[in-house]
Amino acid sequence: MQHTRYEIRIQGLLDAYWGEWFGGLTVTNESDGTTTLSGAVTDQAGLHGLLREVGALGMTLISVNLIETHEPK
């Protein structure tokens, strides 16, 4: 299975507990008033599901960045 890591940046600050709600992603509050959700996503369907949740919660999506992709050994 391929491992793909993403950073999803949203407007506003979130508490750390949101990480579990977003499938175990790491929540990092940035000094500019944004939050970065980062971590491994299993596949494109999983990524789209996370993005739908961001929208359903009324959060403003700023960016989605692919950090790394690699095949396990």
Q: What distance in Å separates the CA atoms of residue 26 and residue 36, rounded to the nearest whole number?
A: 8
The residues near 45 (Cβ < 8 Å, ≥ 6 apart) are none
Instruction: Show me where the domains of the chain are located.
Output: 3-70
pLDDT at 8: 97
CB atoms within 10 A of CB 40: 15
Closest CA to 41 of 57, 58, 62, 22: 22
Closest CA to 37 of 11, 57, 71: 11
Instruction: Read off the pLDDT of residues 23-57 as tens digits, 9 standing for 90 and up.
Output: 899 999 999 999 999 999 988 899 999 999 999 99
CB atoms within 10 A of CB 38: 17
Look up the CATH number of domain 3-70: 3.30.70.980
Give the model's confidence band at 2: pLDDT under 50 very low, under 70 low, under 90 confident, else very high. Answer: low
